[in-house]
Structure 1
């Protein structure tokens, strides 16, 4: 099974989970360190944003409410799903992206390890307000579908990848901000 298939399975499995393990009490601090590393790799992967791509920039409008759920435990599920979507985006046709391949591989590996770490802290539990039925999950899917369609429409060209990289940086910064709040 390829990485795409594994991510799809992960998305399906994460749809009915919440974080509950006592061993995961330190997860927000661990997540912050890994997110900070991922942000460094994302920056190191490419150069500065190309000036010729500024006119193509667009707003994908990340649904920030998905990281502000009522229950603290569901934040981890949301983060896991976001990371799975990012992993999927960065597993696409990268031939026109002018990025350092070694750093790109490190970034993909870091994402994969983050997803695994979150999955290890998640157990399957059906609740009345199941994540799969949540409007937030649908908003996330719609958001990442826009990015995926944007890349396809632009035939995965350099500018579409740079715009997507900037957007993924924003996602990781939002996750970092939330995990800092969880620590407090």
Structure 2
């Protein structure tokens, strides 16, 4: 079983849980800070997008419907999974990325800490969300698999990492936008 399969098993095991709004009411504000910091670190990690990589751009198409649920718990679970997938992607073969190592480690640590906090706030309920069987979850998985396959097909070269970094920036911006809406 590959690492992507292992992360999927971990996600399925936690899928029968929801985030307790009583215990974790502070998470949306923390999440926004983590996202803002992650976006800053993504910019700091690399320099300007290399011109030679423009012709290799891929239309990954983030499945925005995963963040459009009316239930905060469902969106919270989706955001946790997004963070887990991003962490997985940015924990791979980064030798050709040519990024600032300190910024990269801070980025990884910020994601990891947020995942840990989200998992600490997850509790089992009798009325469990059916997120695990949701079409949105499958679309999210396909989105990140497409990025993972793109990196592998390009042998984790500089351009594939820069394209992936730009895509993760767009992904985090969408999560940030939804987090702002959840607060209201």
TM-score (norm 2): 0.92
- Going from structure 1 to structure 2, the CA distance change for 1:104 and 1:128 (only over 3 Å counts) comes to closer
Checking the alignment, whether the CA contact within 8 Å between 2:16 and 2:128 is kept in structure 1 is no
Distance 1:96 1:13 in 2: 34
- Partner secondary structure for residue 49 of structure 2: coil
Q: Secondary structure at the match of 1:92?
A: coil
TM superposition shift of 1:105:
0.7
- Using a 3 Å threshold, how does the CA distance of structure 1 residues 57 and 103 change in structure 2: closer, same or farther? same
Give secondary structure in 1 for the equivalent of 2:161.
Answer: helix
Alpha-carbon shift at residue 4 of structure 1 (Å): 7.5
Residue equivalent to 2:173: 173
Q: Deviations over 1:46-73 (max 9, x none)?
A: 1010000000011100000000113121
- Tell me how many residue pairs correspond in the alignment: 182
Q: Describe how 1:34-53 pairs up with structure 2 within 5 A.
A: 34-53=34-53
Deviates more, 1:45-54 or 1:116-125: 116-125
Alignment partners' CA distance in 1, 2:7 and 2:112: 10
> In 2, are the aligned partners of 1:68 and 1:75 still within 8 Å (CA)?
yes
**SS of residue in 1 equivalent to 2:163:** helix
Are residues 4 and 126 of structure 1, via their aligned partners in 2, closer, same or farther at CA, if it must alter by over 3 Å? farther
| CA positional deviation for 1:31 | 0.8
Change in Cα spacing, 1:149 to 1:5, as seen in structure 2 (3 Å) is closer
Pair 1:96-2:96 in alignment: yes
How far 1:137 sits from its partner (Å)? Answer: 0.7
Counterparts in 2 of 1:146 and 1:5: CA distance versus 1, 3 Å: closer
Give the secondary-structure state (helix, strand or coil) at the position aligned to 1:151: helix
Match of 1:12 in 2: 12
How far does residue 9 in structure 1 lie from its aligned partner after superposition? 5.3
Question: After the TM superposition, which segments of 4 or more aligned residues of structure 1 sit over 4 Å from their partners?
Answer: 3-9, 126-129
Q: Alpha carbon RMSD of aligned pairs, Å?
A: 1.8
Unaligned 5+ runs, structure 1: none
8 Å contact kept, 2:16–2:129: no
TM alignment of 1:62-141, pairs within 5 A: 62-125=62-125, 127=127, 129-141=129-141
**CA deviation string 1:4-37 (max 9, x = no partner):** 8984554233322211241211211111011101
> Unmatched 5+ residue regions in structure 2?
none
Task: Supply the distance in 2 between the matched residues of 1:142 and 1:66 (Cα, whole angstroms).
Answer: 12
Residue 32 of structure 2 corresponds to which residue in structure 1?
32
